Copies of this chain bind each other. A is one copy, B any other.
Amino acid sequence: MRDAYKMATITDPEREFLAAYDPTVYERPSLTVDVALIRVSDDALGTLLVTREEHPDKGKAALPGGFVRMSESLDEAAQRVLREKAGLEGVFLEQLYTFGAPDRDPRTRIVTVTYFALVDGRRFDAIDRATHAVVPARIEVPWEGETGGPIDALTEGGGSLELAFDHADILGMAVKRIRGKLDYTPIGFQLLPDRFTLRQLQHVHETVLGRPLNKDSFRRRMLASTELEATGERQRDVDHRPAALYRFGRRSAV
């Protein structure tokens, strides 16, 4: 601890400068990352939660998260959390928003940098629940468009699920952001396997946006967008005319 005399005579910028060198001068918030992992399952959005084993909010469901380590970037921390908590690697991950209300965690000041991740629903189901204590959940969006606001999660059976801390707000922000990006960035692909039909892609868009889309217009837009690449293959084992399979363009020509 510095002596009071010195603290009283140095100016504010100096104090901040010293504080940066000496972590004991000022208290500082803890820093975590939390990840909203989103998938499309049947007719609803889904996410992956972890049951809290400790107080506070013991027993409630929380987003997978963890403290940021000194040597890793924020992106790396989010990747690590996904790997440790869900065994997932190489999923699409993007920073969402940083939540820092002083009272958002009753223990102490914890600021959390949140991310959203998009993953093919099947990889979601393939997670080994014995080694990773995750809870798949359905997402219920109580607003239209990009209104925003907190979001409830339900168990896969449809039972209600209490969310810890401000995680309902984080999920709401994730859905709002994804809806906004869907129209002008190639992001829907991330929720599908490598090869997919236009119908499947439209279903993903409709589920994310929470409203039906015009089929003809959707086809035209997607085919005109240069993001899609025809594989030349078609569906197999369907009891109707098989649709062409597309893949996300490598954008090699950029």
Contact = CB atoms under 8 A, between A and B. Distances in A.
Interface residues of A, number: 37
Interface string A212-223: 000000000000
Nearest to A50: B13
A109 interface: yes
A202 interface: no
Nearest to A113: B98
A72 interface: yes
A107 B14 CA distance: 14
B53 A13 contact: yes
Interface stretch (A21-29, A152-160, A234-242): A21-29
Contacts of A31: 28-29, 31, 111
Interface stretch (A39-47, A63-71, A136-144, A192-200): A63-71
Interface in A42-101: 53-54, 66-68, 70-74, 95, 97-98, 100-101
A70 B29 contact: yes
Nearest to A97: B95
B20 A110 contact: yes
A29 B68 contact: yes
B108 A54 contact: no
Interface of A: 13-14, 16-17, 19-21, 23, 26-31, 53-54, 66-68, 70-74, 95, 97-98, 100-102, 105, 107-111, 113
21 contacts: A14-B54, A16-B67, A20-B105, A21-B107, A23-B28, A26-B67, A28-B67, A29-B31, A29-B68, A29-B70, A31-B31, A31-B111, A70-B102, A71-B102, A73-B100, A73-B101, A95-B97, A95-B98, A98-B98, A100-B113, A111-B113
